[in-house]
Structure 1
Amino acid sequence: MKAWQIFTHSVRQVFGNLTDALRISGLLYIVQMMIVVAMGVTSGETMQANPAKMLLIVVVALVFSLWIAVAWHRFVLKGEGGTSLLPPFHGNEILRYLGRSLLIGLVVVAVGAVAGMLMMPLGVMLAGPLAGAMIASLFIMVPVFMVMLRLSIPLPAIAMGQNIGFNEGWKATHGETGVFFGLALLLAVFSILLGVPEALFRPDSIPALLWTLTTGWVQMMVGVSILTTLYGHYIEKRRLV
């Protein structure tokens, strides 16, 4: 099953190059999380009490996350390495990556809103509030991930200073709906499973914070690697090994 191959290839891409993954993303991710925690976002009151502070957190998270994403794409696809704990800052590519990501985000939000209106009431009605919410979340995430993944295929090209439109990425994956459904389902289940152990910890405890930070890094790196794998396979015609 190609969806499983893409998913496992992407996971191996991270953990098979763990030293490089930590070198490229570790310092930036830790600093980003330190800023978030220092500003009290985990208290759940930041957005209401200080919108300006929340805006700053969002900007920091965006810049650092895109910095990591562009550096990781370039490492995997171009072999751009180095020994520094701070990867090169490709400003133009990061800005273009951000612009394209915002456009994708608008589409994804619309798809998620429609799926949510359809699935959430149905899930609660069939399985009760808790189980229904989890089931509905799965059925919401799958179409959202399907659309997001197909639209995001040009992003690695942008990271490398190239230009590929949405249409080219969509055409390259024509006839692969089943693959993207399977991949979206795997990614959704993966995300839900990573979140389950968090319920075992007290919300404001150190173990809960450590788990959230660790799983956040794993989700970020696997997600970026999936986009890298999709671009490499469908655009550059690389084999899935």
Structure 2
Amino acid sequence: MVFSNLGPALRISGLLYLAYMLINAYFLLNYANDLSVLQQNMAAGYMPMELPSGLVRTMALNFVVSLLTSLWIAVLWHRFILLSQIPDTPIPPLFSGMLVSYLGKTIQLALMLAVFGFALGMLLGVAIGPFLGSSAATAIPLILFGVLLYLSYRLGLVFPAIALNTSMTFKTSWEKTKPASGAIAQLAVIAVVFAIIIQIPSNMNPDPTSIINLIYSYVVGWIAMMVGISVLTTLYGIHIEGREI
């Protein structure tokens, strides 16, 4: 879906993703070392009295730009795939009402998954942690990640619905995807494996601010974002609109 429509994909996401890249690169290049030191201090139980100048402000800007551009791209990509709507302006149109609704549903889903994930993580730690030994620190987060992805796919049809200006509840999304629960579980496992594989090159280079790492992370990040949005769009097209895969 993404690479067969690479032109429209770049037209929809190009400028928006570039804006995110510029802000994120500035943040990493200026504060990566400060963040590393801060994390080490907090892990040791020490919280510095004063944070580096501009760290909080730049971190907040990075978060806002990242969130805004990703939601903006998501709405446009849903509309392109489901409505064949391609932006005809250099800066893609901002469907502000849809974006606000998208953000609201994102927050709701994030809170639900956070509560469920915390409870499940505690349960897994008690139930299987002792049997996994030292590998528990790696295995349990991966299991948890897969389960949360599965839930996101089952509940996430509300997002393409928003992009089409259609109302849908999480309950409806869950019910509509029930016939494909097995296939969606397999998809979640594939996504976890994919996430592991794409981290391997970055782990071979410990410097997150190296040019190679930055380029790799942005290219892979774009692909992962577009594929993730496409998954929800595909599920919506199949299970809500009755389209063929």
**Using the alignment, how far apart are the partners of 2:115 and 2:142 within structure 1?**
17
**80-89 or 30-39: bigger deviation:** 80-89
Offset from partner CA, 1:44-63 (integer Å, 9 cap, x none): 63585433332222111111
In the superposition, the TM-score normalised over structure 1's length comes to 0.85
Q: Which structure carries more relative contact order (alpha carbon 8 Å, separation 6+)?
A: 1
Which of 132, 150, 156 is the matching residue for 2:154?
150
CA contact (8 A) 2:72 2:94 kept: yes
Aligned CA distance change for structure 1 residues 207 and 88 (closer, same or farther; 3 Å):
same
In the superposition, the TM-score normalised over structure 2's length comes to 0.84
Write out aligned runs for 1:1-241 (5 A).
13-40=1-28, 43=32, 45=34, 49=52, 50-119=55-124, 122=128, 126=132, 128=134, 132-203=136-207, 204-240=209-245
**Using the alignment, how far apart are the partners of 1:216 and 1:125 within structure 2?**
34
Larger Rg: 2
1:28 aligned partner, one-letter code:
L
CA contact (8 A) 1:24 1:85 kept: no
Aligned CA distance change for structure 1 residues 111 and 56 (closer, same or farther; 3 Å):
same
Instruction: Count how many residue pairs are aligned between Structure 1 and Structure 2.
Output: 226
The 3-state SS of whatever aligns with 1:168 is: helix
Shift of 1:126: 2.3
Give RMSD over aligned pairs: 2.2
In structure 1, runs of 5+ residues without a counterpart are 1-12
CA contact (8 A) 1:138 1:189 kept: no
Shift of 1:78: 0.3
In structure 2, runs of 5+ residues without a counterpart are 39-50
**Using the alignment, how far apart are the partners of 1:98 and 1:66 within structure 2?**
7
Shift of 1:190: 1.2
1:163 aligned partner, one-letter code:
S
**Using the alignment, how far apart are the partners of 1:223 and 1:103 within structure 2?**
18
Percent pairwise identity: 35
2:2 aligned partner, one-letter code:
V
